[in-house]
């Protein structure tokens, strides 16, 4: 049974019904809970790039399912060529989270054996993601003591990882094992994944939390109000350098200054051994309107997009930054907690 529970019903962030990819509509949260249906591979690609589904693990599952849609639409003769074309298209929807190409590569490779094997592989990518999130929770819970305040950035919960989550999974495990904890949720400009998604998830699960402005993390750390910081990852290079949501880097620098343990939580599918260090990780640049406009619901229930910056000014919107390995205390994976260096990371894969 999944951990994700909304209004008394268990869900996953993304799943398949027949040939349709179904996903929780994350752009409408926390205002509306609804399911978005992708009937074609183009619909699924669109849902990934517009962030209807988002977060490294859920993006990976979406990529695997989009490949499955390509399989179901292809004749046997041209299967491999059609799948290679589909992979290219899917991989280009979002460049930073390596889980996307991890999933499409797995399905493409499986197609070399048979169509049936490739279909099973697409489902396995999603199932493993959920299970790895659960195990990350088991290991990460050991780091959290009763009475701890945990700071987190962006959303690395059920929504981002099919189920359970990466950074939030240890928090759920700690809460469910009866520890008295509190979570400081960075709002995470410009898309507000913290204020909208993490806070909503924690609310659904009854985990005590407070949303803090993005620029308040160092302040709380300086006051001794943060015991540990746990964040997710979109890609971890072989040496431990980690790409995560923009703003992670400055939190890691502040955490080191104040002697606060700073952990990355991620499944091994987020580790990219082919990229030696953070310099090789592509950083997605998104539309400037995400910075200059804001979207929300008024008290009459109507949605609005409003300009919140100087009209006509240019804005820049890098979606991720790279935290150097030396700022990371450890990486929580489904196989245990390891140091952020090449030797420890490579040992995980033995």
The residues that touch ligand MRU, with contacts defined as CB under 6 A, are 54-57, 154-156, 160-161, 166, 193, 231-234, 244-245, 319
Q: Among candidates 160, 198, 190, 168, which has minimal Cα distance to 54?
A: 160
- Three-class DSSP category at 322: strand
Select 160 or 226, whichever has its Cβ closest to ligand MRU.
Answer: 160
Do the beta carbons of residue 57 and residue 63 sit within 8 Å?
no
146 is catalytic: no
For residues 164 and 3, what is the distance between their CA atoms, to the nearest angstrom?
6
Active-site residue, from 163, 186, 214, 234: 234
177 C-beta neighbours (distance < 10 Å), count: 12
Q: Among candidates 159, 161, 154, which has minimal Cα distance to 183?
A: 154
Handedness of CA 331, 332, 333, 337 (dihedral sign): positive
* Shortest reach from residue 155's CB to ligand MRU, in Å: 5
In this structure, what is the dihedral angle of CA atoms 79, 84, 85, 90, given to the nearest 10 degrees?
120
In this structure, what is the dihedral angle of CA atoms 305, 167, 97, 2, given to the nearest 10 degrees?
-90
Select 19 or 49, whichever has its Cβ closest to ligand MRU.
Answer: 49
Tell me which residue has its CB nearest to ligand MRU. Answer: 232
For residues 88 and 92, what is the distance between their CA atoms, to the nearest angstrom?
6
Select 64 or 74, whichever has its Cβ closest to ligand MRU.
Answer: 64
Select 234 or 272, whichever has its Cβ closest to ligand MRU.
Answer: 234
* Shortest reach from residue 30's CB to ligand MRU, in Å: 15
* Shortest reach from residue 48's CB to ligand MRU, in Å: 9
* Shortest reach from residue 113's CB to ligand MRU, in Å: 30
Residue 266's H or E segment, with its range, is none
Select 57 or 111, whichever has its Cβ closest to ligand MRU.
Answer: 57
* Shortest reach from residue 224's CB to ligand MRU, in Å: 25
Select 110 or 159, whichever has its Cβ closest to ligand MRU.
Answer: 159
Q: Among candidates 198, 194, 284, 277, which has minimal Cα distance to 242?
A: 277
Residue 59 sits at the vertex; the CA angle it makes with 96 and 325, to the nearest 5 degrees, is 40
Do the beta carbons of residue 264 and residue 233 sit within 8 Å?
yes
* Shortest reach from residue 27's CB to ligand MRU, in Å: 11
The encoded tokens of residue 155 equal 């959303």
- Residues with a known catalytic role: 234
């Amino acid at each position: 049974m999944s951990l994700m529970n909304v209004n008394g019903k268990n869900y996953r962030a993304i799943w398949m019904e027949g040939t349709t990819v179904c996903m929780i509509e994350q752009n409408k949260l926390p205002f509306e809970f609804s399911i978005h249906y992708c009937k074609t591979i183009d619909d699924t690609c669109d849902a990934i790039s517009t962030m209807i589904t988002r977060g490294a693990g859920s993006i990976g599952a979406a990529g695997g399912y989009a490949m499955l849609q390509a399989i179901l639409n292809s004749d046997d003769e041209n299967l491999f060529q059609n799948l290679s074309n589909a992979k290219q298209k899917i991989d280009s929807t979002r460049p930073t989270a390596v889980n996307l190409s991890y999933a499409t590569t797995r399905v493409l490779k499986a197609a070399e054996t048979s169509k049936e094997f490739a279909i099973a592989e697409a489902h396995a990518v999603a199932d493993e993601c959920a299970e790895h999130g659960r195990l990350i929770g088991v290991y990460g819970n050991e780091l959290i003591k009763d009475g701890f305040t945990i700071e987190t950035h962006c959303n690395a919960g059920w929504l981002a990882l099919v189920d359970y989550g990466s950074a939030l999974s240890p928090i759920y495990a700690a809460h469910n094992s009866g520890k008295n904890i509190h979570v400081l949720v960075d709002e995470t400009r410009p898309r507000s994944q913290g204020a909208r998604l993490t806070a909503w998830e924690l609310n659904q699960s009854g985990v005590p939390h407070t949303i803090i402005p993005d620029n308040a993390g160092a302040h709380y750390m300086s006051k001794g109000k943060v015991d540990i910081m746990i964040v997710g990852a979109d890609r971890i290079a072989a040496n431990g350098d980690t790409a995560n949501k923009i703003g992670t880097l400055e939190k890691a620098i502040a955490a080191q200054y104040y002697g606060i343990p700073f952990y990355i939580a991620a499944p091994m599918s987020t580790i990219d051994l082919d990229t030696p260090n953070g310099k090789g990780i592509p950083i997605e640049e998104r539309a400037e309107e995400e910075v200059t406009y804001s979207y929300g619901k008024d008290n009459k229930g109507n949605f609005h997009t409003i300009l919140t910056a100087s009209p006509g000014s240019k804005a820049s919107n890098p979606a991720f930054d790279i935290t150097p390995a030396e700022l990371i205390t450890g990486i929580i994976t489904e196989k245990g907690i390891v140091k952020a260096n090449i030797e420890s990371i490579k040992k995980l894969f033995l």
